[in-house]
Chain A
């Protein structure tokens, strides 16, 4: 899967550059545009649908999640273009939830503990991704741009940690003996996949000269933890929206 996506990226990327260069020769500059943008990511590492072991979200906050990037756009028709970019995305969140019979199996260097946890779970994510979005762009006549494509991302700094507290673990499964847990921490930094990909969509509108307000959505299509990881019993995906400003030049 990764291989095909990489090939697709390279193909689209080189096509853009080639088209851009051809265009440069014919009509200098006019169809060829650079964008820098900054923004703030709001979202989370989340399951597509909540399992019934999650009983309540006690709190959520997005955490420090800036996004900064550059895009090269090529307009090959009046209303259509294509863009490739590179961005650094801090994808953070803080969640505290109440869980019941939440199955987990944590394995470290040959020792493992399995069981069903009931109590409070706190998860903090501070991942940093280097992302390459590749998108088709529709430019409307009234200063709107709509973008749709996909992104590829490399996890350059993994950080996924948290704690379980005020609860108990049923050792093995729900019939196992009860072990009271006041507070215990976990860290699954290096259990995460280092590669992510998904759908990238966005909209922006010129608001002042070359400045545009923008909103994007990056929806991961691959679970952040591989199937071999059993610490969390459901799949979680990177689902983040970005609001920000873009500058075209």
Chain B
């Protein structure tokens, strides 16, 4: 009975012919650290769109900063980590990372985000180069707003603008464009992980794709730095709920009508809140929430006062953060809503005190 031994040896042989490890093909900027005294908000690395969003004090913006970078193993970067960078008129600096597998290169654009006057008309949009979803940008092309689109991209929808739940529309109140959110059906792949519906969503903050499978609610990181104190949240919207409301297991709930969500939250920064704690964190200072999420056939104005936490006193030296969140299904973060629910928002503003 030598053959079984031979067979066993054969299996061992298969196990032993492991080849040398491939050279590392990864070219990430994993962290981008700037002296916190120079920041008004936490730096965010938007890996999907290869942008590094910096929230700088005026002084830092004028004098430049000296970021310390960490990279994928054995990758190289220019300009080097620890090299001073200054921002010219276009507010952008480009970093090029070369992987150990040196044919792999990745370019990141560093953008200095200036939140400005907190008035948003959604006139300018850009497209993700790989997945083709749209996202709104400011006049200076910096990114303040994000959406759930990068998460939807992971479920393998067709690579076209209208396959995503959040996009631009020419059906606006002011100017030529507005932001449109439509609740769409999940895909065959998303059904594997129990997701049957994606609500359109739009928020001030960032989408952190890395945790979208492990902790989807934590992927939506809310907030941009806010100077002063907000008084009122205003804007225009129209809303058409979809015909049939479904729960997270795709069961139709009769007599239930979908509602939209539009709200703004002021909280203590500089750390962002996310989908897990935006409604519950004790760092929340004030909220302005649209109470009427029902159908509105025509553009309807809202003007909502911020309601402050009782007893809260403004303290100097605290970084305040503000976010605006809109969704075509108010329970869309729990994958509940009606397919086809459509929310359009335009001309959103935060009026300071």
- CB–CB A111/B156 < 8 A: yes
Which chain B residues numbered 156 to 207 have a C-beta less than 8 Å away from chain A?
156-158, 187-190, 192-193
* Given the contacts A172-B130, A174-B104, A175-B106, A241 and B18 also touching, CB distance less than 8 Å: no
Is A123 at the interface (CB under 8 A from chain B)? no
Indicate if A178 sits at the interface (CB-CB under 8 A): yes
Kindly list chain B residues whose C-beta atoms are within 8 Å of the C-beta of A199.
Answer: none
The complex places the Cα of A79 from the Cα of B21 at a distance, in Å, of 51
| From B1, B14, B101, B155, contact of A113 by CB (8 A) | B155
A176 near B104 with CB under 8 A, answer: no
Binding stretch for chain B, among A15-23, A101-109, A131-139, A150-158:
A101-109
Say yes or no for B146: interface residue by CB 8 A criterion: no
Report the number of A-B residue pairs with Cβ-Cβ less than 8 Å: 119
Q: Contacting B22 at CB < 8 Å: which of A43, A50, A101, A243?
A: A101
CB distance from B348 to the nearest CB of A (A): 28
Closest CB in chain B relative to A56 CB, distance in Å: 7
- Chain B residues, Cβ within 8 Å of A181: 213-214
Q: Shortest Cβ distance from A218 into chain B, in angstroms?
A: 12
Interface status of B118 (Cβ within 8 A of chain A): no
Q: Which of A172, A177, A215 contacts B4 (CB 8 A)?
A: A215
Bound CA–CA A1/B212 (angstroms): 46
Neighbour of B157 across the interface among A46, A111, A185, CB < 8 A: A111
Q: Contact: A182 with B189, CB < 8 Å?
A: no
User: Is A127 an interface residue, CB under 8 A from the partner?
Assistant: no
Please, how many angstroms separate the alpha-carbon atoms of A100 and B99 in the complex?
Answer: 15
B270 at the interface (CB under 8 A from A): no
Q: Mark B1-31, 1 if CB is under 8 A from A, else 0.
A: 1011001101100110111111001111000
Chain B residues positioned under 8 Å from A110 (CB to CB):
158, 187-188
* Bound-state Cα–Cα, A204 to B155, Å: 53
- Chain A residues in 8 Å Cβ range of B101: 174
> 1/0 contact trace for A31-56 toward B, CB 8 Å?
00000000000111010011111111
Q: Which residue of B lies closest to A173 (CB)?
A: B25
Q: Which residues of B contact A100 (CB under 8 A)?
A: 21-22
Taking a contact as CB atoms under 8 Å apart, the answer to whether A113 and B26 are in contact is no
A174 to B26: give the CA distance in the assembly, Å. Answer: 6
State whether B7 touches A171 (Cβ < 8 A). Answer: no
What chain B residues lie within 8 Å of A43 (beta carbons)?
A: 7, 11
How long is the Cα–Cα vector from A3 to B153 in the complex, in angstroms?
43
Please measure, in the bound complex, the distance between the C-alpha atom of A176 and the C-alpha atom of B131, giving whole angstroms: 11
Partner of A177 from the list B1, B17, B209, B213 (CB cut-off 8 Å) is B209
A 205-247 binary contact with B (CB < 8 Å = 1; else 0): 0000000010101000000000000000000000001010000
B3 close to A178 (CB less than 8 A): no
Asked whether A10 is an interface residue with its Cβ less than 8 Å from the other chain, the reply is no
Alpha-carbon distance A184/B195, docked complex (angstroms): 14
B3 touches A215 (CB 8 A): yes
| Chain B residues whose CB sits within 8 angstroms of the CB of A175 once the complex forms | 25-27, 99, 104, 106
Binary contact track A58-71/B, C-beta < 8 Å → 1, others 0:
00100000000000
Interface residue A86 (Cβ < 8 Å from any Cβ of B): no
Judged by a CB distance under 8 angstroms, whether A179 is at the interface is: yes
What is the distance, in angstroms, from B84's C-beta to the closest C-beta of chain A? 27
Q: Does B47 interact with chain A (Cβ within 8 Å)? A: yes
In the complex, the answer to whether B10 meets A57 with C-beta atoms within 8 Å is no
Let me know if B154 is at the binding interface, CB within 8 A. yes
Partner of B18, one of A55, A106, A177: A55
> Which residue on chain A has the smallest CB distance to residue B14?
A46
CB-defined contacts of A176 to chain B, threshold 8 Å = 130
- From known contacts A54-B18, A56-B18, A213-B1, infer whether A179 and B189 are also in contact, taking CB-CB under 8 Å: no
List of B residues within 8 angstroms of A12 by Cβ: none
Contact yes or no, A50 B17, CB < 8 A = yes
**Is the pair B22, A52 in contact by a Cβ cutoff of 8 Å?**
yes
Q: Does A8 contact B (CB under 8 A)?
A: no
Residues of A within 8 A of B214 (CB): 180-182
Q: Which residues of A contact B193 (CB under 8 A)?
A: 184
B277 interface residue (CB < 8 Å to A): no
Using known A-B contacts A52-B22, A113-B155, A243-B3, determine if residue A178 contacts B17 with beta carbons closer than 8 Å.
Answer: no
Chain B residues within an 8 Å CB radius of A108: 156, 187-189, 192
* Residue B298 is within 8 A (CB to CB) of chain A in the complex: no
Q: Can you pick out 29 interface pairs between chain A and chain B where the beta carbons lie within 8 Å of each other?
A: A42-B4, A43-B11, A44-B11, A50-B18, A50-B19, A52-B19, A52-B20, A54-B18, A100-B21, A108-B188, A110-B187, A111-B156, A171-B153, A172-B130, A174-B99, A175-B25, A175-B26, A175-B27, A175-B104, A177-B150, A177-B210, A178-B209, A179-B209, A179-B210, A180-B210, A180-B214, A184-B193, A185-B192, A213-B1
Q: Known A-B contacts: A53-B22, A174-B25, A241-B7. Give 14 more (CB < 8 A).
A: A51-B19, A55-B18, A60-B11, A109-B187, A109-B188, A111-B155, A111-B187, A116-B25, A171-B48, A171-B154, A174-B104, A175-B25, A178-B47, A184-B213
